[in-house]
Amino acid sequence: MVLILSQKGNFMSTNVEEKILHGTTTVAIQVKDGVVLCADMRASAGYFIANNNTMKIQKIERHVGLTLAGGVADAQNIVDVLRYHANLHRIQKNEPISINSLARLTSLMFHQNRGYPFIADILVGGFDNTGPTLFNIDMFGSVEKKNYVTTGSGSPVAYGLLEDEYSKDLSLEEAKNVALRAVKAAITRNIGTGDGINVALIDKNGFRLLTDEQKKAVIKL
């Protein structure tokens, strides 16, 4: 339970974590040659399916992307700010921004808005001059470096598969297959997850989304 300051200056008691957890599953895996980002496509409000074609994976720059869980408006605001700073850094420094810098910037945005918190949980992953990197940033601004992570209401199901199949020796192709199967398992068992899967790979060649044909070669959509 979290106390949040209302617009009238009163503290409201509300379980905001439930709002983040409700209605999605995102998965990210870091391996030796890249990062996989994977997410379902359902947006729900309670038991109502608001949208069945939601893109929860966003490209920030050519070498980095993120997954979104939580409020759409809050998440989109974060994406816009990160894109702005990533582009500005490339123009001013003539080099790509580091993944660590983007994760810290995301954390700062969450921390500065803790009175009126962003209802979102972000996974930032990419490939920079240090190699592949993956971070989880929660709504309170906490930053954790991860080898694999899942967020959303279907995450308990996804974690079961990830913990069984993850290995630091996985190739990017093998990690892609694991991520797809993890989200597919969540779709099967979680009412808030569904309507297809999007997956992106990020390696030394940059960010790319998989086509439907590439995904169907791994699982039945």
Q: Please give the Cα distance from 30 to 127 (Å, whole number).
A: 10
Burial per residue of 186-216, b for 16 or more beta-carbon CB atoms within 10 angstroms, e otherwise: bbeebebbbbbbbbbbbbeebbeebeeeebe
Tell me the CA distances in angstroms from 40 to 8, 83, 154, 167, 191, one per residue in order.
37, 23, 10, 23, 12
What are 43's two structure tokens? 């947006």
Q: Please give the Cα distance from 103 to 14 (Å, whole number).
A: 27
What are 221's two structure tokens? 């959509």
**Known active-site residue 25:** no
What's the count of helices (H) and strands (E) in the chain, helices before strands?
6, 14
At residue 81, what are phi and psi to the nearest 5 degrees?
-65, -45
Catalytic, out of 14, 24, 106, 211: 24
Q: Return the active site residues.
A: 24
